């Protein structure tokens, strides 16, 4: 099942990146693999509806770009960065960001601008990387390396991605009429809800104070 999990993580990472014709073409080309992966994971989702929406979105990429900017950047309706939800706790935000970067550095990874380490895009792709890392190690009998990757996956989900994806998907669906983002938020929620099973100690972020962000110097890093 690991290969299917890794695929969905990577698909969603691309889906929430800044939209372009190339991004939509990549998603379109991966829909059959997405359908297979979700089926194998036992996740019910209307991939054909997503196919129709992506096809329609290809004809109005500029509209999608505008909605991306409105949702995740300028108007701060649904920030796509984890530490945006910690802005009223400056020390906590700094610690969270340092911890996220520590995970990446432990595996020799470096997130390069314009993507920021705490972005949804980066965190989703990191989860895919850890799954692939564990698979690679297991195939070669590298038990310690596999254990380290698996432990990092659990810890990162518990301490980071697992804490904020629910409030993020709620905000997306509350603040957009764009069917593309509604469907992607639904898929993200369904998939990550399935992945959190068995991971104990997740403390969901339940409040987002937009006015705190508006008075800060924080900027979306995409």
- Over residues 53-72, the pLDDT tens digits come to 999 999 999 999 999 999 99
Question: Confidence band (pLDDT; 50, 70, 90) for 90?
Answer: low
Phi and psi at residue 16, in whole multiples of 5°? -100, 5
CA distance 169 to 159: 18
- Helical ranges in 73-178 per DSSP H: 90-106, 120-139, 143-156, 162-175
What pLDDT does 78 receive? 96
Residues 6+ apart with CB under 8 A from 59: none
Question: Confidence band (pLDDT; 50, 70, 90) for 219?
Answer: very low
Domains and CATH numbers, the chain: 2-214 (1.10.3480.10)
Q: How many CB atoms lie within 10 A of CB 91?
A: 8
CA distance 66 to 98: 31
Question: Confidence band (pLDDT; 50, 70, 90) for 88?
Answer: low
What pLDDT does 66 receive? 97
Global pTM value: 0.92
CA distance 154 to 118: 17
What pLDDT does 186 receive? 99
CA distance 14 to 210: 26
SS3 107: coil
The predicted-structure confidence for 128-184, as pLDDT tens digits, reads as follows 999 999 999 999 999 999 999 999 999 999 999 999 999 999 999 999 999 999 999
Count Cβ atoms within 10 A of the Cβ of residue 209 and give its class: 0-12 exposed, 13-18 middle, 19 or more buried: exposed
């Amino acid at each position: 099942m690991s290969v299917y999990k890794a695929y969905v993580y990577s698909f969603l990472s691309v889906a929430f990146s800044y939209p372009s014709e190339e991004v939509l073409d990549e998603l379109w080309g991966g829909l059959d693999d997405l359908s297979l992966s979700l089926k194998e994971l036992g996740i019910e989702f209307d991939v054909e509806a997503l196919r129709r929406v992506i096809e329609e979105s290809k004809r109005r990429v500029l509209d999608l770009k505008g909605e991306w900017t409105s949702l995740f950047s300028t108007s701060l309706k649904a920030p796509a960065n984890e530490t945006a939800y910690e802005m009223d706790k400056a020390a906590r935000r700094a610690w969270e960001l340092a911890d996220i970067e520590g995970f990446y550095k432990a595996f020799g990874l470096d997130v390069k601008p314009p993507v920021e380490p705490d972005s949804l895009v980066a965190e989703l792709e990191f989860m895919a990387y850890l799954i692939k890392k564990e698979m690679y190690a297991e195939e070669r009998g590298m038990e310690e390396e596999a254990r380290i990757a698996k432990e990092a996956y659990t810890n990162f989900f518990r301490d980071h991605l697992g804490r904020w994806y629910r409030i993020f998907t709620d905000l997306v669906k509350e603040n957009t009429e764009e069917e593309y983002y509604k469907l992607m938020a639904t898929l993200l929620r369904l998939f990550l809800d399935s992945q959190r099973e068995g991971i104990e100690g997740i403390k969901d972020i339940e409040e987002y104070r937009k006015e705190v962000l508006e008075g800060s110097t924080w900027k979306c890093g995409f």
